[in-house]
Structure 1
Amino acid sequence: MKITKLEKKKRLYLLELDKEQQLYITEDTIVRFMLSKDKDITPEELIQIQAFAQLSYGKNLALYYLSFKQRTRKEVQLYLEKYELEPSIIPKILNNLETDNWINDSKYVETFLYQNQLSGDKGPQVLKQKLSQKGIPLSLIEEELQKIDFMPIAERVVQKIWKTYASKLPHKALQDKLVQSLMTKGFPYTQAKAAQHSLELTSDESLDEELLQKELEKQYRKYSRKYDGYELKQRLIQALMRKGYDYQQIKSALREFL
């Protein structure tokens, strides 16, 4: 078989043979097999060229994908599966990239967790979930998580949440909010509770009374349209307790309000 055309087409080259066969190959393939127009190749060489072209093309795609940011092996695999590559060639590409350290799941986990330590707000459970979704083995994730003290992160996060809600919630509701927010971010209950205690919060009765009064007025406008008397009072008590206000404070406020 003779090469009748070798023409550049954007990032690939079109190779045509005299038997009306054609395929797209990479520049690396041309260099590897010293291909040129009018060169004769055997059927066996053609098979080798096709296989190498797939490998080279897939690797170039992966390197382009990796040029934007660090990726996991699974992420690169999913990216390559979008293209017309032989399924059997993808593991070879991934192994090649790992050998050359373009893909390194261990390093990915280290970097991911380090960034969270510096400025992130996630606890171990959420981090484990996010890394697992990226195809990282659980054994590797858990091994790296065990190396980290999450208390400084939890304390940093609880400070930020406290600043947001300190003037908006009564003491008990604020305490609950802090713990619940930390648990939502993936911190275990014991750690969330310890971080909340680190703030050494004290109850501000005047603030609680002011917040209670505002909330009472709000809930009264809502429920007084449908209820009155005893039923209205019970609705108000239930609504305010759900908001985290103390039962005795609610009863006292209602005596003056109603």
Structure 2
Amino acid sequence: MPAISKISVQQKNKGRFNIFLKRGDTEEFGFGVGEDILIQYNLHKGMELSEEDIKQMKNKDELHKSYTRAIHYLSYRMRAEKEMYDYLLDNDVTEEDAKDIINRLYKENLLDDEAFARSYVQSKIATSSKGPLLLKQELIQKGVPEDYILSALESYTFDEQYRKALKFGLKKVNDSSKKSFQQKLQTAKQTMMQKGYTQDVIKEVSLQLAEEKEDSAEWDSLVLQGEKALRKYEKKAEGYERKQKVMAALYRKGFSSDLIQRFLEEKGY
């Protein structure tokens, strides 16, 4: 059987070692191992190794390298089990080793689809405008079980969805294009659907957008009529009297007291 003739530290990786073997009068490089394998097998100069020993150590070392690769993959962010499994296979890890690594990661609490789903939803709520239906689809694609997904999405409240959808809905209907309000509103609805918002949210936001459009038009009309009234009473009255005449004129036009008060305050009354 070949015997270990020399053990040296690898130059580029101080945590790995080169094992040289002597077969008869010939010395040659045998294989490389990590420190854990070196300690586990108590490898030392003069130790004889069978071909089965060498094969077993190589397999265990390869498994450890794949595990280390998995840990590195997790260092960027949490991963779903399917993400990790696909990653390992893409890096030429055998199916058997991939399953062993995943089992180890679960035992070490480094993989947890339920926790991943919660974290994913919270992250997207904080950093994106995506709705729950789109998040659900993304998590399904990542292989997360549906019950974990539904549980995680419970934290995505109606109020939070409404706030996000209204924000970009207002942006759509208030753009500078020459499209009609109805065309802009339809675009906003389509965008909300594409982003994965529920029909309840889309309906409520659409009603609010239409209401704000009406309020805006009402304000524009009041400003027009208010300016006319100010010019009309410019030489007929001053100060408080002029304010009262303008207020009365606007009341007769059917404008609300809140809008009238806002207009007069902006005019310095």
TM-score scaled by structure 2? 0.66
**Does the Cα contact within 8 Å between 2:172 and 2:188 map onto a contact in 1?**
no
**Aligned equivalents of 2:207, 2:138: Cα separation in 1:** 28
**Aligned equivalents of 2:44, 2:200: Cα separation in 1:** 69
Residue 49, structure 1, aligned to residue 43, structure 2: no
| Residue identity matched to 1:7 | S
**Partner of residue 129 from structure 2, selected from 99, 121, 124:** 121
How many residues were matched structurally?
Answer: 208
**Partner of residue 201 from structure 1, selected from 206, 212, 226:** 212
Deviations 1:180-236 (A, max 9, x none): 111110112232111222443234569xxxxxxxxxxxxxxxxxxxxxxxxxxxxxx
Q: SS state of the match for residue 201, structure 1? A: helix
Deviations 1:62-116 (A, max 9, x none): 1122222222222222222233434311111111112111222221111111122
- Structure 1 residue 127 displacement after superposition: 0.5
Residue 18, structure 1, aligned to residue 22, structure 2: yes
Unaligned runs of 5+ in 2: 219-269
**Does the Cα contact within 8 Å between 2:172 and 2:184 map onto a contact in 1?**
no
- Structure 1 residue 18 displacement after superposition: 3.3
Q: 2:81 matched to which residue of 1?
A: 73
- Structure 1 residue 14 displacement after superposition: 3.0
**Which protein has the larger Cα radius of gyration, Structure 1 or Structure 2?**
2
* Aligned pairs for 1:35-114 within 5 A: 35-114=43-122
Distance 1:101 1:115, change over 3 A: same
**Aligned equivalents of 2:5, 2:141: Cα separation in 1:** 48
Deviations 1:2-60 (A, max 9, x none): 22343333344333433568333222211222222322234554344233212211111
Structure 1 runs of 4+ aligned residues shifted over 6 Å read none
**Does the Cα contact within 8 Å between 1:29 and 1:49 map onto a contact in 2?**
yes
Unaligned runs of 5+ in 1: 207-258
**Partner of residue 159 from structure 1, selected from 167, 178, 185:** 167
**Does the Cα contact within 8 Å between 2:169 and 2:205 map onto a contact in 1?**
no
Distance 1:41 1:195, change over 3 A: same
**Aligned equivalents of 2:73, 2:109: Cα separation in 1:** 15
**Does the Cα contact within 8 Å between 1:7 and 1:14 map onto a contact in 2?**
yes
**Aligned equivalents of 2:81, 2:6: Cα separation in 1:** 37
Q: 1:186 matched to which residue of 2?
A: 196
